[in-house]
């Protein structure tokens, strides 16, 4: 029996890991984070990674504050070809903010790479949501389907999964999920990326 994670019922990690690897075909090992009333949470990252990531992101608040993201996008858009995709400009602006934060705090590039990966992952989501690929200089209004895709991606599904959570299924009768430790930050990036790419605030769920 391994060290007990947070939660009430002990979990033997060995059968859980075998199930994930052999039954689900997930090659990378997964660490048991906790078991609670919501089920079992696992992670591909080592213990302490989430804390280190949040400490790193706390050094660069401008990546997650709408005014600074909008200003960085406007600067990058002004220097871009008018036919450039707005999502490309957003991605370049975010990378520029990240580089500036790295220089300001003397952060090694290996650590910055963790955040770059997150930016690029959010960009991939934006590509699937804002599929009409608006350009810098073109008039554009999001299609109803794009607004719906944004909301659908962030809505928790019946199995507790969203864009930033993978649902593995039931093990020992309880749901197993793999969650991104930077999910809260990624949602902010996605919201701001939508705003600068579409020119309007993120769609809000219907009341009730």
Tens digit of each residue's pLDDT (9 = 90 or more) over 19-46 = 998 888 888 888 888 888 878 988 888 8
Task: Assess contact for 77 and 86: CB atoms under 8 A.
Answer: yes
Flag whether pLDDT at 160 surpasses 90: no
Instruction: Check residue 63 and give its pLDDT.
Output: 97
Instruction: Check residue 1 and give its pLDDT.
Output: 34
The DSSP symbol for 200 reads: S
Flag whether pLDDT at 56 surpasses 90: yes
Query: Where are the alpha helices (H) located in the chain, listed in sequence order?
Result: 13-18, 49-57, 66-78, 86-105, 109-129, 144-154, 183-198
In whole angstroms, give the CA distance from residue 13 to residue 39.
14
The mean pLDDT of 77-104, rounded to a whole number, is: 97
Give the largest Cα separation in the chain, rounded: 60
Instruction: Check residue 208 and give its pLDDT.
Output: 54
Radius of gyration from C-alpha coordinates of the chain: 19
Cut 0.85: pTM above it: no
């Amino acid at each position: 029996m391994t060290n007990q994670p947070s939660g009430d019922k002990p979990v033997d990690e060995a059968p859980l890991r075998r199930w994930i690897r052999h039954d689900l075909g997930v090659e990378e090992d997964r660490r048991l984070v906790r078991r609670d009333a919501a089920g079992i949470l696992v992670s591909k990252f080592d213990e302490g990674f989430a804390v280190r990531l949040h400490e790193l992101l706390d050094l660069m608040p401008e990546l997650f504050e709408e005014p600074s993201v909008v200003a960085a996008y406007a600067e990058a858009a002004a220097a871009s070809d008018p036919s450039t995709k707005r999502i490309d400009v957003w991605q370049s602006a975010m990378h520029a903010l990240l580089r500036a934060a790295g220089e300001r705090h003397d952060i090694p590039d290996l650590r910055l790479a963790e955040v770059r990966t997150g930016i690029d992952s959010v960009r991939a989501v934006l590509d699937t949501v804002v599929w009409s690929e608006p350009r810098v200089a073109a008039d554009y209004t999001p299609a109803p389907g794009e607004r719906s895709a944004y909301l659908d991606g962030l809505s928790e599904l019946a199995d507790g999964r969203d864009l930033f959570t993978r649902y593995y299924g039931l093990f020992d009768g309880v749901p197993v999920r793999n969650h991104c430790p930077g999910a809260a930050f990624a949602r902010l990036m996605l919201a701001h990326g939508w705003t600068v790419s579409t020119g309007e605030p993120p769609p809000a769920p219907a009341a009730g």
